[in-house]
Structure 1
Amino acid sequence: MEVYPLKFHPIFKQRLWGGNKLRTFLGKDVSGEDIGESWELSGVAGDVSVIANGPYAGKSLWELIETFPEGLLGTGVLERFGTEFPILIKFLHAREDLSIQLHPGDDLARRRHNSFGKTEMWYILDAEPGSELIIGFNRDVSREEYLQALEGGKLLDLLHYEPVREGDAFFINNGKIHAIGGGIVLAEIQQSSDVTYRIYDFDRRDANGNLRELHTELALEAMDFQQKDDFRRSYGRKRNQPNPMVDSAYFKTAYLEVDKNLERDLRGRKAFTIFLCVGGQAVIAVDGQAVQVRMGETVLVPAAAGSVQINSGGCRLLEVSP
């Protein structure tokens, strides 16, 4: 395998709640006023990323995994996940509130959908004054209380609202009720899954005047009814070294602020590494082959890389590995 930093063509998704900041704030080459998501790196069937640079340009992520499974994924990933790419990377802009939703865990998702479950994290890139997330309940509730509130139009009274600002980080366990509020741009790191149970959508209608489907019954078995203050993640801001943010069974994420020439040793990882640029710009190089990244771009460094060099006068990265 020829080892170099891989960039991919974004996959843009129109959403009822989407806006224009993927273009105006992140500089994405996309038209339209309702583009809610940019899938940066995906192995999800039907939305598989295509390489944009270097000798493998035009090949899909699946093709590269099939040809170089160990070189791209690493032995540790192959042992845990086989040849399935286990992480999905997105940028989102919510002009309006997303629907209130949750995601199943691995066992339930595998049984119902032949899919990974969905545990995720968010890093806030931009937030308008007063922007909030919905994360979990504001107290422990019973199944019966929840259903009564949902049917009586009182669900919002049971939910926890969390104010946000740029740089905040959140970890969302599967089963936790949540929604991204309007006015927020964020990076999302998650298990490779597109399974969502929508439970409330503010009675909005789509472009055809139809209410969107709700998944009330499916959500019940997956839902965590306990109030848990376990979602906000604090992290260090020491420069030129990784500052741990999330260490989960599905992915590990560190905050990495670079203002010099930095080399990261990857030899003990046995897995690929993803860099999301969430501020500034940098040159990322492997074995002398370099790519430039700016805020809103993502790079995959194959597992076969022994190290990576990052050169920047000032950038902020999220470093992600399975």
Structure 2
Amino acid sequence: MKQFYPLTFEPIFKERIWGGTKLKDYLNKPISSEITGESWELSTVPESISVVNSGEFKGKNLNELIDLYPKEILGKEVFNQFGKQFPLLFKYLDAKADLSIQLHPNDELAKARHNSFGKTEMWYVMQADENARLIVGFKENSNREDYLNHVENKMLLSILNEVPVKKGDVFLLETGTIHAIGAGIVIAEIQQTSDITYRIYDWDRVDANGKGRELHTELALDAINYKTTSAKKEYTSIENKSISVVDCPYFKTNIISLNDEVLIDKTSDSFMVLMCTEGSFELVFGDQKYMYLTGDTVLIPAVLTSFMLKGTATVLEITV
């Protein structure tokens, strides 16, 4: 019988106009660019498919593994719901400058327009400079006409909600929510497998040729949630306990403040992903031991149902 084990993957780096070097400085990622904005940790987005970097499956990509062992990797319930599709995308982001103001369509719109999942996502703030902030939704309930009027008069920022952030903050961005990550923030992002973004404002930035990035003003109109939203998730961490912070239809995220050891017992219904956002930990499975550091992301195949975490770390624990 095939021996499954915790899987790690080669990070896929993305240069962005707003990127920097914190993925190297804080997360020890081997980036070679001064404008690396994203490290895609677990992805089956076409052209960006994660490849296993160690163990028996080294060199195989995630789609190949799922094709060979769908229920063992994904889990029985995930397979029943999604077939051989990996439903989530995991990233670390470094915003040296403000990201564009944007939003994502829901499943229905994304399917009709792009044959894609929608993009519900969550952010865990790993590091934030002083006075760092996010943009999340509207200050007050708006509507299509009022929104367009503010866009056309270059007054959009005046109706959007700015939120100061600090390390440890969690936000759930449901589809349709206008949002932007502000400068000076490193974020762990968990989202549906989708790369569909409607950009509505880009701070009037232009490239070396004086050309701005494409805006999606018309596409966005039917996708926006014009009502105010409370995206921030409040929670109280407890040492060596798995605390729920997000429970939405697409994924469930718990936070473990590890300061000794925690036994993880799970079902084989879903895979689990662990993101080490601070510190380091050892994962003990049977007589096998695996060591993980800040910035590591681990895919636990669904068939691994019991293991121990030991160390001092902050760990995000994600299932479907």
Question: Would you call these one fold, judging by a TM-score over 0.5?
Answer: yes
Kindly report which structure 2 residues correspond to 1:295-306, keeping only aligned pairs within 5 A, or say none. 295-306=294-305
Q: What residue identity is the alignment partner of 1:232?
A: K
Deviation at 1:48, TM superposition (A): 0.5
Cross-structure match for 1:18: 19
Kindly report which structure 2 residues correspond to 1:93-242, keeping only aligned pairs within 5 A, or say none. 93-228=94-229, 230-242=230-242
Partners of 2:233 and 2:209 lie apart in 1 by 40
Counting aligned pairs with the same residue, the percent is: 46
Deviations 1:119-165 (A, max 9, x none): 00000011111100000000011111100100110000010000000
Give the secondary-structure state (helix, strand or coil) at the position aligned to 1:260: strand
Q: What residue identity is the alignment partner of 1:293?
A: Y
Cross-structure match for 1:253: 253
Cross-structure match for 1:55: 56
Deviation at 1:45, TM superposition (A): 1.1
Deviation at 1:226, TM superposition (A): 0.7
Partners of 2:306 and 2:28 lie apart in 1 by 29
Deviations 1:219-276 (A, max 9, x none): 1111000112x21101121111210000000000000011223221113x51100000
RMSD: 1.0
Cross-structure match for 1:283: 282
TM-score, normalising length: structure 1: 0.97
Farther-moved stretch of structure 1 (32-41 vs 282-291): 282-291
Task: Name structure 2 gaps, 5 residues minimum.
Answer: none
Partners of 1:209 and 1:71 lie apart in 2 by 51
Deviation at 1:278, TM superposition (A): 0.7
Deviation at 1:207, TM superposition (A): 4.3
Deviation at 1:289, TM superposition (A): 2.7
Give the secondary-structure state (helix, strand or coil) at the position aligned to 2:67: helix
Partners of 1:56 and 1:172 lie apart in 2 by 34
Deviations 1:52-110 (A, max 9, x none): 11100110000100000010001110111111101100000001100000000111111
Cross-structure match for 1:310: 309
Farther-moved stretch of structure 1 (130-139 vs 280-289): 280-289
Partners of 2:236 and 2:307 lie apart in 1 by 22
Deviation at 1:206, TM superposition (A): 2.6
Q: Does structure 2 conserve the Cα–Cα contact (< 8 Å) formed by 1:5 and 1:285? A: no
Q: Does structure 2 conserve the Cα–Cα contact (< 8 Å) formed by 1:7 and 1:298? A: yes
TM-score, normalising length: structure 2: 0.98
Task: Name structure 1 gaps, 5 residues minimum.
Answer: none
4+ runs deviating over 3 angstroms? none
Q: Does structure 2 conserve the Cα–Cα contact (< 8 Å) formed by 1:104 and 1:222? A: yes
Q: Does structure 2 conserve the Cα–Cα contact (< 8 Å) formed by 1:5 and 1:290? A: no
Give the secondary-structure state (helix, strand or coil) at the position aligned to 1:243: strand
Count of aligned positions: 319
Partners of 2:227 and 2:273 lie apart in 1 by 33
Q: What residue identity is the alignment partner of 2:232?
A: R
